[in-house]
């Protein structure tokens, strides 16, 4: 039986590219997104190996429908890739941030990721109990914002810092079941989320903020995700891999 992955946020750049790579590698993928399926037409081209579940990851029904789709036909879930995330609708100074904006970002980025992971982890544990050779992988998309202050989008930074701690917590809790939990910390990636601040990041790239002086691509992130999911790094858990053009290097 082919391996099955759930990938959230498949109508966005990183999620879409990640799902595409898994499909190209022969996996079965259940993709989750808030947008109409037309935003994932390049994935539907893979036929029955791609199933789309439309919905918000912060809503339990979306999570439940995606997991059921993954398990249909007696399949098990080999990997969960938590990509779905949002930025605040309005970038506001920390002192002006609203509760509504905080709740919007945290519900999707933090709450959605946590409870999706919790529920999938329970299904992976069932699979591990049945099949001793089972190995599961959970990969969270965090951000350089997990540790980098941006005072005009504090809710986003807090949500990503939360994902980094979730990675540690679930890695610790699930290791005994041969389920690895790791995270990717993308830097400045060319997606719809960064489209509105292109000029800002172009300038930072030009000024040398990133040693590899270019925008990152969704493909850069997808390849790192797959490295954690395909078993290559089966003795690695609780790790954060930066895909950020060297931004994480401390320089004088």
Residues noted as catalytic: 156
Angle between helices 99-106 and 154-174 (to 10 degrees): 30
How far is it between the farthest Cα atoms of the chain? 56
Give the H/E segment covering residue 136.
strand 136-141
Tokens of residue 95, six digits = 């002192």
Beta strands in 142-239 (DSSP E): 179-186
- Residue 33 and residue 9 in contact, taking contact as beta carbons nearer than 8 Å: yes
Give the H/E segment covering residue 30.
strand 28-33
Query: What is the spatial order of strands in the sheet that 179-186 belongs to?
Result: 50-54, 28-33, 4-8, 77-82, 136-141, 179-186, 240-243
Tokens of residue 128, six digits = 């591990």
**What does each C-alpha distance from 116 to 48, 109, 208, 245 come to in angstroms?**
23, 11, 38, 29
């Amino acid at each position: 039986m082919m391996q099955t992955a759930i990938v959230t946020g498949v109508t966005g750049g990183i999620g879409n590219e990640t799902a595409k790579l898994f499909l190209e590698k022969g996996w079965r993928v259940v993709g989750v997104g808030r947008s109409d399926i037309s935003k994932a037409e390049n994935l539907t081209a893979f036929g029955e190996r791609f199933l789309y579940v439309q919905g918000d990851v912060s809503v339990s029904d979306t999570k439940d429908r995606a997991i059921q789709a993954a398990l249909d036909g007696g399949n098990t879930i080999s990997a969960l890739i938590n990509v779905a995330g949002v930025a605040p609708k309005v970038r506001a100074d920390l002192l002006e941030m609203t509760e509504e904006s905080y709740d919007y970002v945290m519900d999707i980025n933090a709450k959605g990721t946590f409870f999706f992971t919790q529920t999938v982890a329970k299904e992976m544990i069932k699979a591990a109990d049945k099949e001793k050779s089972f190995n599961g992988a959970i990969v969270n998309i965090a951000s350089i914002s997990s540790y980098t202050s941006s005072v005009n989008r504090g809710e986003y930074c807090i949500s990503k810092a939360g994902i980094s701690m979730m990675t540690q917590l679930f890695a610790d809790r699930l290791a005994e079941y041969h389920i690895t939990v790791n995270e990717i910390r993308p830097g400045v990636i060319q997606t719809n989320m960064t489209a509105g601040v292109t000029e800002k990041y172009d300038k930072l790239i030009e000024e040398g903020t990133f040693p590899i002086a270019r925008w990152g691509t969704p493909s850069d992130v997808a390849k790192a995700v797959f490295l954690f999911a395909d078993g290559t790094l089966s003795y690695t858990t609780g790790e954060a891999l930066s895909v950020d053009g060297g931004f994480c290097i401390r320089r004088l």
